[in-house]
Amino acid sequence: MSATQITLVIDRQNRVLVQVGASVAQIPNLSQRDTVALLIKIADPATNSINGSPTILTSNEIITGKPRITISSQATGTSGDEDVYVLAKIREADFTWDADQSGFTGSLPLNTMQMETFIGAAESGIAEFEVRWSIGGQLSTLLPGPKNSVTILANNDEGADPAVDILNGVMTLNGPLQLRFPNGHVYAFTENVTEDGVDFSRI
């Protein structure tokens, strides 16, 4: 278990987060360039609403499905808008069932070009955190985004990893680019304006 793992227990009937043990009752502040370790547990509400506890569902009850998470600047009812407003996402194929923790574990990367553009020169931005449930090709919503806002904080320390374009699946690097090899050789990848191309040369 990661020291920074965030545990979310979702009441699948009431579509809300519930606090059970170390889980959180609301999405905590996240940081723009982090990769967030998540543990998603699915629960049914307590049969005794006064002093009962939610029932955490086991693999036998839910193993045929998996969660998917999307962080977006807003949700709309128009088809195709996910590509316009999406900031970060983790699909069901990237979640793994963890029997020891009775939940699904996955890593949500926030170091995206979309998130970078969303925050811009500000110190933070408020986004929507949505959790859906995928089973047999059918989707249902466990946590609706418009009701689950999350504050994304900008980082003072930008680190060394460039932001990834999650829409096109291509990592974008700012040029000119230098590649260093263990033998000490350095190659420069630069634009050649005269020939409208690129140069790749050892320096």
Q: What is the pLDDT of residues 10-41, one digit of tens each?
A: 999 999 999 998 899 999 999 999 999 999 99
Non-local (6+) Cβ contacts of 130 within 8 A are 69, 70, 71, 72, 75, 141, 143, 144, 145, 148
Which pLDDT tens digit goes with each residue over 146-202?
999 999 999 999 887 889 888 875 555 556 677 777 777 788 777 766 666 666 676
Which pLDDT tens digit goes with each residue over 47-71?
766 677 888 998 777 878 999 999 9
Helix and strand numbers (H, E) in the chain are 3, 17
Which structural domains are found in the chain, ordered by start? Answer: 6-161 (2.60.40), 173-203 (no CATH)
Spatial distance between the Cα atoms of 20 and 53, rounded to a whole number of angstroms: 8
pTM score of the predicted model: 0.79
What pLDDT sits at residue 130?
97
What pLDDT sits at residue 62?
83
What pLDDT sits at residue 196?
62
Integer-rounded Cα Rg, in Å, for the chain is 21
Entry field: residues in the chain: 203
With contact defined as beta carbons under 8 Å apart, do 143 and 154 qualify? no
What pLDDT sits at residue 175?
64
What pLDDT sits at residue 1?
42
Smallest CA-to-CA distance from 130 within 62, 80, 58, 82 is with 82
CA atoms within 13 A on the CB side of 100: 2
